[in-house]
Amino acid sequence: MSQTSIPASTTTLQAANWSGYIPILLSLAPSSLSSPVAPRPLHRMISRMTYLHIALNEEVMQLFEFAPATAGQKELLVREEPPDDDDNHKDESICDSGEASASDGAVAAASDDKSNDAIRDKSGQNETDQKDIEQKADTAESTGAQPISKKYPTCWFEDEESGQPLRWHLFIGVLYDAMKGRAVLKQSHSFCPSDESATLLPWRIRVHFTSYPPTILPFEIQPPSKKDTTVEHTNQISTTISRTFRNSLKQALFMQYTSSKVANSITKSSHEKMWNAILTTNYTLYHEVNGSLQMGTLSSEADKQVAGAAVPELIPVRVLVNGNSPMQRPCRAFRDADENIMLQTIKQQCETEENGEETTEDEKTLDNLVERLTTCSIRPQTSLGNVLLSWLPQYFDVVDETIVAKSFVYYSIQGIQPNLSCSILDLWRSLCHPDHFLYVVVITND
Amino acid sequence: MAKIKIHFVPVGNAPLLKKSKFLMSTTDKFTSATSFVRKLLKIDTDVPLFLYIHSFEPSGDQSMGDLMDCFGVRGELVVHYSLMEAWG
């Protein structure tokens, strides 16, 4: 696919992606149950393109009625400071806080009593602050019609099979792909292959109202600033997620345009429209705003005219390995022209010149050379394999000049495994998530 | 352990820092930058604090090394801090 041709099918592919749903079975974690009878698990179909807290808002409220009265409030503000982040940062160097290793280990948080206690201790320290905030929030609420009991509780989700906490700021499709990857690898490596894929769906998820795990990002709930006092605080979780989405999108836009100009030019109503599109899984509404934001998604004449500019400076790509924090490195649509190829071209050019008619003009040759040097055949497109091999050399290999995934490695984008030779630019255009990041899930069994 | 240079720049009425350039480890997460600025400014967690790179707030679990690679300019990563929302 050449640099200038924008496939008309990009929007069709995006629309198809937006119609992807996953059947789930949501149950209440036994540790969060206070009533004698456990509520029945809830079957739902949830969109790949939204977030757990958004898709399961009502279900969480239903199950919350069976949780202890004190659950879902206390841990709200326990966050931000990594557990071992002490006063040792006075000098010019911030020491490695060791937080990375804490987040790397998969901790089965549900049964982790120690972390539980640590959290309680912290919440004890912060209790007075918290009360202040809660009071502020309550006063804001009392002006609205929502009774306090309807407030969305602090909660977190767990993948029942692996016991891993699910990151609230990742799209459901990305979380599901990681879970599926683990199951696929387990199946392919077991000696007595069972029909495990049949039991994959519905995806079993547990909701917890206590013991917020330290391994996943806490909700960055900002205390209401002066500017914010009029804002409703009835659903801070939704506000927080919407804010995270907006900032992720702005980050991706900066990478595409190498400037904040486009991101800052989005009006408030456009932002709201996009968020509403995510709340209601409405691709048409999303595309109304996104068409003019995401580079190269319009197949119109106007876009073709600026096709040169329609290739992002950096393609927003995030790679998630084994459910850890995302890797995000600069990724360009084209690889640098291979010096060997350039030399060959010049050599060929010289030969043509020698063998050609005497009337060949130097200028013409030069033009021709420049043209050949700037065509795509000389600047090869970066493939998905190029990206994965350079970011994760331990998991990908080159066999007979072809990039392949090692046997214990599973990768997936939007639930499919595109060929590693696919252009990363094309994949990004059609398979990126609503925040313009192309999420590549990599699971390994080493 | 590889280190990168972070330049903290105040926005709006945020107080100035006596020293504004620091070294951080590439594997540090962005949330540690936030808690570091809180310590420098001696402000509690109940005071709003916003940290921006260019005009967006990175996610707390992004690594400083990745942010430097994608958004660093001339060998340093500029992080703006503000006591109120600066770029909605």
In chain A, which residue's Cα lies nearest the Cα of B33? A94
pLDDT at residue A76 tops 50:
no
In a domain, B88, yes or no: no
Residues A152-175: what's their mean pLDDT? 91
Which of B59, B62, B78, B79 to mutate to probe the A interface, most A CBs <10 Å? Answer: B59
Average pLDDT of every residue of chain B = 92
Residues of chain A positioned with their CB less than 8 A from the CB of B38: 80
In chain A, which residue's Cα lies nearest the Cα of B68? A329
In whole angstroms, what separates CA A319 from the centre of its chain? 9
- Best CA proximity match to B10, nearest among B83, B85, B72, B88: B83
Residues of chain B positioned with their CB less than 8 A from the CB of A80: 31, 34-35, 38, 45, 60
* In CATH, A315-337+379-444 is 3.10.20.90: yes
Contact B46 A129 (CB under 8 A): yes
Contact A260 B87 (CB under 8 A): yes
CATH code at B48? 3.10.20.90
Domain boundaries, chain A: 22-77+151-208, 231-293, 315-337+379-444, 341-374
pLDDT at residue A39 tops 50:
yes
Mode of pairing for the β-strands spanning B76-82 and B50-52: antiparallel
Contact A264 B34 (CB under 8 A): no
Show the domain range for B15: 3-82
**Structural fold of domain A231-293:** Serum Albumin; Chain A, Domain 1 (1.10.246)
- Best CA proximity match to B87, nearest among A201, A250, A415, A173: A250
In a domain, B44, yes or no: yes
pTM of the shown model: 0.76
A340-365 confidence digits (pLDDT tens): 555 565 566 556 555 555 545 566 66
Give CA–CA dist A155/A210, Å, rounded: 7
Residues A11-40: what's their mean pLDDT? 90
Average pLDDT of every residue of chain A = 74
* Per-state percent for chain A, helix, strand, coil, to nearest 5: 45, 15, 45
Query: Which of A211-215, A280-284, B9-13 has the least mean pLDDT?
Result: A211-215
pLDDT at residue A236 tops 70:
yes
Report which DSSP code applies to A77: G
Q: Which residues contact A358 (CB under 8 A, 6 or more apart)?
A: none
In a domain, B14, yes or no: yes
Contact B35 A260 (CB under 8 A): no
Q: How many domains does chain B have?
A: 1
In a domain, B87, yes or no: no
Q: Per CATH, the architecture of A22-77+151-208 is what?
A: Roll (3.10)
Chain position carrying tokens 């709340």: A279
Residues of chain A positioned with their CB less than 8 A from the CB of B19: 92
In a domain, B37, yes or no: yes
Contact A217 B85 (CB under 8 A): no
What is residue B50's predicted lDDT score, i.e. its pLDDT? 92
In contact, A167 and B62? CB cutoff 8 Å: no
Measured between CB atoms, which of B55, B61, B70 is closest to A250? B55
Q: Return the half-sphere exposure (C-beta side, CA atoms, 13 A cut-off) of residue A445.
A: 18
Contact A94 B32 (CB under 8 A): yes
